[in-house]
Structures are given as structure tokens and as C-alpha cells.
Amino acid sequence: MRIGIDLGGTKIEVIALADDGSELFRKRIATPRHDYDQTVQAICSLVHDAEAATGERGSVGVGIPGTLSPFTGRVKNANSVWLNGQPLDKDLADALGRPVRIANDANCLAVSEATDGAGAGAKVVFAVIIGTGCGSGVAIQGQVHAGGNGIAGEFGHNPLPWIDEEEWAYQQATPCYCGQRGCIETFVSGTGFAQSYRFVTGMERSGAEIMALVAQGDAEATKAIKRYERRLAKSLAHVVNLLDPDVIVLGGGMSNVERLYSHVPALMREYVFGGECDTPVRKAVHGDSSGVRGAAWLWQRGEQ
């Protein structure tokens, strides 16, 4: 049995998976915010709940909104800031009496979809979470490719390529929280979609409200989603030029915009060097569950 934990800023979810990927147990609790020791205890109690309910012992994988530094062995880049600087894998391993694997939540999405989702059987899967922010990661043969610095696949804070005048003006007016300007995240996250709409129209609307206007044929909203599609296509064309993944999987709130899957691949061809690109762009099959399922699949079939 595999136990996966999705450690989020507001909730912690546990899932227990059988070898065939079927779900044996699931539970969700509120994250003890700003308290590291209680966060560790909460994860351990969820593992124990899963094992009590199923009567089985499981391997444990944890997805976090950050990554483990390969230099210090401690968490970095987590927006749940009380995790940063902590040796979370070691503390959990000590508390649970077994090795614990930890990966970034976007990497968990990539692993989940590569194992039994939209990228099942694909050798290289690039996964993007386009939600409040923009996290992304790579799975190679079903395993996380974290990279020597623990940052592989994170393209959200690369600059948007091939920018036009409007994008230049937007990036001058909208610095990224990371300290740079022009980050892909500020354009293709759900937050960036709404911010960019406000920049052009002066109106404050959520992504869902803008998409409702698109459905009604509103001209400004339609222009906004077309801009968004082109920006996502430019960003992904960069990934194809560099990595050429077999499948690109989208998760997060913006991944529910169905027109992306027909429009973005065609636009990508305009930017990929040589003009040939048949890379499928697919919606995450497991939706919001992909993070927690991917955490469980950090232990692959045959490894236990």
C-alpha cells in the first residue's frame, strides 16, 4: 500500500492507494498553520489513520508547496513559510520509523499523471499547475526529475518569451513577488489572467467571471483569453525547445478552461523552432487529486 500526503497551506490530505491505483482511504484536515511541530504530528496522525482504517502498513510520500534543498536537506521556496529551513523528510522518517520521500507539488502532479493519468506510459511528462501561482515540474519514466539544484522544470519564474509591446507595459507595471519582472507566472497563473485583464480594461474580475463573459461573447473578455492562450503557448514552446516532453499536462483552476486544449497546441507551432510540434497538451485526469496521488506514487510499482 502507498500512502500519499498533500501538504497545503490550508489543508493536509492523505490518500492510501492499492497497487492498482484504487483508492483505499482518504481524509482531509486543516493545516496547523505557522506551527512546524504540529504539522509533523498532523501528518503522522493521518498516516496512522490510513493504516488503522486499512489494516496495512504503507510507504509514505509527501507533496509540499516547495522543495528540499539538495545542499542543506531542508525545505526551501515554500509559501507555507513555517516549513522553510526544516528537515521535514528526516523528521517524518524519525517519527514514522520508515523512509519518507518528499517532492514539490507540481512534481507530484507530473508523477501522478505519468503513472496512471493523462501522461500514462509517456517517457517525459511536463506538468504545470496554473492556479493562484504557476508551479511546474518534470517526471521521467514516472519518477520526479528534481535536478541537481532541486529546481528542474520550474519555469514560472523564467521570463515570458517573445513579448509584445502590451506585455512589456504589463510587466513594467506588474512586478513578480520574486523580485523580477516579466515572470511567466505573472501572465499564465489564474491570478495573472485576472491581473492582466484589469491592466487592459481597468475592471476587477475573477478568472471565472472573465470566462463567463467569454461564454456570452463579450469582446474584451474574448481578447483576454486569446492573449492568455498565446502567452501560455509561448511559454510552453520554450519548454518544447528545451526538453521536448512527450506530454504536457495542465492542472489547477485555469486547466478547467476547455478551449486551451484545442487552441494552445496550434499556437505553440508558431514559436517552436522549425515549426513542427505535435506535443499533446492535456488536462490532468485526476484533477485536484493528482497532487496527493502523485505523492503516493513517489514510491513506484515494484519498489516496496
Residues that bind Zn ion (CB under 5 A): 157, 176, 178, 180, 183
Instruction: For the CB of residue 182, give the shortest distance to Zn ion in the complex, in Å.
Output: 8
Instruction: For the CB of residue 177, give the shortest distance to Zn ion in the complex, in Å.
Output: 7
Cα–Cα distance between 193 and 215 in angstroms, integer? 16
Grid cell listed for 98: 520508515
Choice between 2 and 231, CB closer to Zn ion: 231
Choice between 169 and 178, CB closer to Zn ion: 178
Choice between 125 and 183, CB closer to Zn ion: 183
Instruction: For the CB of residue 82, give the shortest distance to Zn ion in the complex, in Å.
Output: 22
Choice between 14 and 176, CB closer to Zn ion: 176
Instruction: For the CB of residue 131, give the shortest distance to Zn ion in the complex, in Å.
Output: 15
Please, what's the b/e burial string for 253-284 (b: 16 or more CB within 10 A of its CB; e: otherwise)?
Answer: bbbbbeebeebbbebbbebbeeeebebebbbb
Q: How far is CA 42 from CA 25, 27, 45, 108, in A?
A: 16, 12, 5, 20
Grid cell listed for 168: 512589456
Cα–Cα distance between 215 and 106 in angstroms, integer? 30
Choice between 135 and 251, CB closer to Zn ion: 135
Other CB atoms within 10 Å distance of the CB of residue 18? 12
Grid cell listed for 273: 523552432
Angle 175-177-183 from CA coordinates, rounded to 5°: 60
Instruction: For the CB of residue 97, give the shortest distance to Zn ion in the complex, in Å.
Output: 39
Cα–Cα distance between 104 and 29 in angstroms, integer? 20
Instruction: For the CB of residue 91, give the shortest distance to Zn ion in the complex, in Å.
Output: 29
Cα–Cα distance between 302 and 304 in angstroms, integer? 6
Name residue 25's beta-bridge partners.
Answer: 16
Choice between 36 and 162, CB closer to Zn ion: 162
Choice between 2 and 157, CB closer to Zn ion: 157
Instruction: For the CB of residue 185, give the shortest distance to Zn ion in the complex, in Å.
Output: 6
Please list the alpha-helical segments (H only) found in 28-103: 36-54, 88-96
Q: In what order do the strands lie in the sheet with 2-7?
A: 23-30, 11-17, 2-7, 59-64, 100-104
